[in-house]
Structure formats: C-alpha cells, structure tokens
C-alpha cells in the first residue's frame, strides 16, 4: 500500500503513522473466459446499485451499502471457490499460471515490500490486503503480519485508512486466536473498519506447521456466521475432496490453499501426488500428477 492519505509523506512520517517497518499488499488475479487474467477494479458507471458507487471509498457509505458493496465486488470477481493463497517468494507468476491451468479460479501474488513500492508507485489496479496472517520470523522483526494481532487498534486504523481512501475494495487475511470470542471480535472489527473480503486461516499464530496442527474449521464457521461479508477458508485443503467438505462444514464462500499447492499444483483439478495415491488405492480422483512434467511445461 503506497500511500494512505492524499498528503505527500516522507518515509519516516509513514513509518511513524503505521508503527510498523513493513506492510504488504497483493494483487488478486482471476480467471476469465479468455486465457488472460487481470486485476479487478471498479468504475462508478458499473454500479448495479443506486445507493453507492463501486468506485467510492467505503467512508462514503453507510453500513448496509458497504456490505452490499462487498458482495458486489465478490460477484464481480466471479465468486471464485478455488483460490491460490499469497505466499512469500512462492506465488510468482509462473506458479500462478500453473495453478490456474489446473483448476484455480483466482490467485494472489506474493506480498509486496511497501518500502520499495512506496518509492516506485505505478498506475495499476490494486486490492490491498493487510498481511495480518503471516507468522514468519521476519514478520515479528518487522512488526507486521500475524504479529499485528497484538495491536488490534493499529490493525483497525490501517484497514479503515485504506477503505476510507481507496477506490478499490480492501481484503484482509488473518489467523485465529486461541479464544474463539477473540477471533469473532477480531473479524467483526475488520468488517466494521471497511474490509470487503475476509480470508481466515484456521490456525493460531503459533501453529506454524500445517501438517502437525489441523486447522479449526469450526472457528472459521463461527466467523462466517458472525460477519456479513464474503469469507474464505484456509487450512486443511490437502486434496480436492477437502474442498467440498470445507465449504459444507464452514459455510465459507471459497477456499484458499498454499503449501499443499506447492506440493501439488494440480490439486484443484483432482490430481494427487504419489504420496496420496499410494496411501489410498481406492481414491476416486483422476490419478497421480507428475510434478516434473508440470515444471517442464512452465
């Protein structure tokens, strides 16, 4: 996110106001009827509702219109069910193309370093996603990512600032708290601040090993029931059968997958890696995928 106001700020001023060394933003690509994909931006003339313009900042809207705006944005994206989650240094263009070829409806780019982006702004359509999920060590050193969960007033101010000044919707991606009520309060706070799309990773900040810790789908279900904006579920999507189970158990509007797609970019197409095929001879999926062949293609 390059600027949070119409003022021309120095980098020091920006850091003082954000109280963080780094923030991030990511682009969301979507599949279309053609082979190309693009970021999504809204034009006032495209608004299907009379109460607001899709190009208007959220601060110009009342609560009901902001909720309606969030769903209009979701529909404009094509209501994607299968999405590639943002990954540091992993979800680059070739990988996103590969995943889209094998069933992904939409894909996030990696988080962008805001210091670099601040000084090299371009006129491109962005959907800013405050990185409140990243639990890597660098996030702790930089005072961002999931470590902002200790500073909820700051998170609220960031989202509100973005939603109040941008002409594109703002999305957020979070981890859950150990306490369910804290998680619900967190999600509602983001919704009230202007978040239009909320992705929920069903693990806590300390549960970094996805194979060791199962994601809490019940927590995601609770967030979905407590909010009125589109919610995405992240966690435990190891093969295609998990997708429908997750959607049914959480009520989420779509799913995100990250590490599992690194192991198997064709996951959303129903393919399994050798590990899964050997472990389940009666599986009804299409068959084993050869990652080497996929790598050569891209």
Q: How far apart are CA 61 and CA 67, in angstroms?
A: 9
The Cα-based distances of 129 to 1, 186, 216 in angstroms read 9, 16, 22
Estimate the crossing angle of helix 217-226 against helix 240-250, to 10 degrees: 50
Which entry of 99, 134, 195, 246 is annotated as an active-site residue?
134
Candidates 119, 130, 127, 197; CA nearest to 167 is 127
Q: Is 134 a catalytic residue?
A: yes
List all residues 6 or more positions away from 46 whose beta carbon is below 8 Å from its beta carbon. 54, 76
The helix (H) or strand (E) run that includes residue 190 is helix 180-193
The DSSP call for residue 196 is: S
C-alpha triplet 252, 253, 256: angle, nearest 5°: 80
Range 10-15 contact pairs with CB under 8 angstroms and sequence separation of 24 or more: 11/115, 11/118, 11/119, 14/118
Active site residues: 134
């Amino acid at each position: 996110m390059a600027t949070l106001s119409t003022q021309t700020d120095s980098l020091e001023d920006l850091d003082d106001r954000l109280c963080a060394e780094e923030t991030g933003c990511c682009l969301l690509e979507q599949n279309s009827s053609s082979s190309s994909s693009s970021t999504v931006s809204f034009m006032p003339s495209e608004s299907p509702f009379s109460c607001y313009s899709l190009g208007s900042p959220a601060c110009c809207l009342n609560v009901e219109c902001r909720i309606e705006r969030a769903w209009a944005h979701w529909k404009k994206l094509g209501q994607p069910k299968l999405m590639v989650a943002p990954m540091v240094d992993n979800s680059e263009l070739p990988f996103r193309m590969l995943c889209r070829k094998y069933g992904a409806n939409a894909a996030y780019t990696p988080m962008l370093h805001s210091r670099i982006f601040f000084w090299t702004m371009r006129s491109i359509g962005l959907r800013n996603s405050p990185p409140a999920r990243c639990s890597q060590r660098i996030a702790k050193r930089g005072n961002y990512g999931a470590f902002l969960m200790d500073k909820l007033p700051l998170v609220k101010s960031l989202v509100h600032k973005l939603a109040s000044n941008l002409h594109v919707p703002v999305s957020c991606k979070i981890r859950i708290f150990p306490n369910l009520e804290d998680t619900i309060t967190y999600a509602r706070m983001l919704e009230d601040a202007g978040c239009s799309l909320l992705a929920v990773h069903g693990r806590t900040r300390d549960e970094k090993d996805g194979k060791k810790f199962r994601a809490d789908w019940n927590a995601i279900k609770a967030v979905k029931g407590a909010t009125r904006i589109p919610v995405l579920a992240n966690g435990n999507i190891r093969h295609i059968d998990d997708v429908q189970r997750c959607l049914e158990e959480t009520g989420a509007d779509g799913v995100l997958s990250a590490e599992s797609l690194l192991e198997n970019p064709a996951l959303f197409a129903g393919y399994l890696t050798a590990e899964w095929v050997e472990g389940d001879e009666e599986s009804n999926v299409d068959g084993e995928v050869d990652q080497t062949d996929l790598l050569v293609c891209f």
